[in-house]
A and B are shown apart, each in its own frame.
Chain A
Amino acid sequence: MNKRYVMVHDENKCIGCQACNVACRTENDVPDGVARLQVRVEGPFGEMPNLHYSYARISCQQCEDAACIKVCPTGAAYRNDDGIITINKDKCVGCQYCVAACTYKVRFMNPVTRVADKCNFCTDTRLKRGEQPACVTVCPTNALVFGDANDASSEVAQIIATRATYRDKVHLGAEPRVYRIPAKKGGIAS
């Protein structure tokens, strides 16, 4: 059966510490000045003493209907056998069409390799070895859950089935695979 790898980011548990951001940088050799993954912390919102922050994961959303694949003239942006969208470095000419077209504006040109780059759930490294993506492993509050949503017994499938989740910019029709559990204002709910 086809896999449908998804990521869940629990915005209640997230504390914006950027451990995921740093782990990703190390695992994937991401040069300074660019990032595959950031957690944007905005706020505070509300009135004293009920202040709260928002935590948004900014990374490739692994779109079901991916603009980057459609526009890439060489097929360098492609979906691999696991259903994960990744980049064939040897085919990329650096036209930046995918960077411009990305629905979530998370692709970038890697200044060292000069090819397009973005999160691919550590598909070539950790996933291949049967490990979880680097960000998931290091998160100190277990705010990230990763797995195959087509496997009904997986943790991600159960979260999606039972918790209130949302996805970013669904009106654009890309069908992103990053699910977010919205924060209850003012505190951590587990």
Chain B
Amino acid sequence: MNNIWGDMSQYDPVTWHWVIAVYLFLAGLSAGAVMVALALRWAKGEQFESPIIKAAALVAPLAICLGMLCLVFDLTKPFHFWLILINYNLSSVMSIGVIALLLYIPLTFAYALLVFRAPLANWPLLGGVAEALLGWRKPLEVLLFGLGIVVGAYTGFLISAMNVYPMLNTAILPALFLVSGISAGAAANALVALIWFKTDSHSAEISGLHRVELPVVGIEMLFLLMLFSALYFKGGAAASALASLTTGQWAVVFWALVVGVGFGIPLLSRLLPAELRHGKGVTVLAACASLTGVLALRHFILYAGQSYIS
């Protein structure tokens, strides 16, 4: 129907679409991959370049760069993106994110050089830089880990800083995104290590990743429960947003992809007999399921979150 006051399409509360969900996924995955790999390396006191570290060194810069491409081409003025690099507003989470990413992205590349210094040894410049970085390994790792936390949490803060969306404007969202980024990072590390670096799925490295999986999924579920119960008890517009769990396509995405595939398949695979469970096929399947679940979670939160306003 035509209104006498004009077109209503600009008032659709869903402003950010799937490209942003993919960006939030990739940024969280990149940060998660770094954090998981470094934590495992430190925990075991590894002195060599394990397949997991190699995987993370590859995944982290690639994922974040792909994510940045998504972000830039989602701007209405993509070729003016440099404006965001020369103007800063410290009350804007996006501006703070830009600062964090300007530190994080070069560091992921530096760390990749360091990890792959052996194959790069014969390159004139890169080989030298990689060797030089080696002396700085520990401080570099600590800084990278810290920035990983910042980048992972930032993806949540970015959308929680809008008080017009009750489902997004919650304290738990940055924590939820940080943890689900860690689960995506662990899955991506496992996939790359298994397929690219041909690790044995029964190896100590992969079983280390398996040990991370269960607590991380548990915390993710707990945070989701906290998010939904906070909305329920707040009442009003916040409680209305819970309708996204029972109606419409995002309810299907949540229950089928986030819960069924993302949590269900990795958890069920752990009930299989040890021989099967640690097989390559099952490990790859569980990792793909985790990644699907996290990507679906970003979509669900972004779309369902923006669909209800207070």
Contacts and interface: CB of A to CB of B under 8 A. Distances in A.
Given A34-B10, A114-B76, A114-B77, A40 B5 contact: yes
Given A71-B92, A73-B87, A105-B309, A93 B162 contact: no
Interface stretch (B57-65, B93-101, B189-197, B284-292): B93-101
Contacts of B92: 70-73, 97
A142 interface: no
B93 A71 contact: yes
A141 B81 CA distance: 46
Q: How many residues of A sit at the interface, in one of the four size bands?
A: 35 or more
Given A21-B6, A35-B7, A41-B5, A73 B88 contact: yes
Interface in A111-140: 114-115
A100 to B, nearest CB: 4
Given A71-B92, A71-B94, 20 more contacts: A16-B5, A32-B7, A33-B9, A35-B7, A67-B162, A70-B92, A71-B161, A73-B87, A74-B84, A74-B87, A92-B83, A93-B83, A95-B75, A95-B94, A96-B15, A99-B15, A100-B306, A103-B164, A108-B10, A109-B76
Nearest to A111: B76
A147 B172 CA distance: 42
A75 interface: yes
Given A41-B4, A101-B161, A93 B13 contact: no
Interface of A: 16, 18, 21, 32-35, 38-41, 58, 67, 69-76, 91-97, 99-103, 105, 108-109, 114-115, 169, 172-173
A29 to B, nearest CB: 15
A101 B6 CA distance: 23
Contacts of B48: none
B11 interface: yes
B310 interface: yes
Contacts of B81: 93
Contacts of B15: 96, 99-100
A91 B84 CA distance: 8
Interface in B60-88: 74-78, 80-81, 83-84, 87-88
Interface of B: 3-7, 9-11, 13, 15-16, 74-78, 80-81, 83-84, 87-89, 91-95, 98, 161-165, 306, 309-310
Contact of B77 (A18, A69, A70, A92): A92
A67 B83 contact: no
A31 to B, nearest CB: 11
B11 A97 contact: no
B19 to A, nearest CB: 11
A86 B261 CA distance: 46
A172 B13 CA distance: 16
Contacts of B306: 100
A97 B81 CA distance: 14
The 7 tightest CB contacts between A and B, nearest first, are A94-B76, A74-B87, A100-B15, A73-B94, A38-B5, A108-B10, A73-B95
A94 B77 CA distance: 6
Contacts of B16: 96, 100
A91 B87 contact: yes
Contacts of A76: 87
Contact of B4 (A16, A32, A92, A99): A16
Which of A33, A75, A101, A108 counts the most chain B CB atoms within 10 A?
A101
Which of A72, A93, A96, A169 counts the most chain B CB atoms within 10 A?
A93
Given A93-B77, A95-B75, A100-B15, A74 B83 contact: yes
Nearest to B17: A96
Given A16-B4, A21-B6, A38-B6, A96 B83 contact: no
Contacts of B75: 93-95
B277 to A, nearest CB: 43
Contact of B89 (A40, A41, A74, A99): A74
B137 to A, nearest CB: 33
Nearest to B94: A73
Contact of A33 (B7, B13, B80, B98): B7
A67 B4 contact: no
B7 A34 contact: yes
A130 to B, nearest CB: 29
A18 B94 contact: no
A101 B89 CA distance: 15
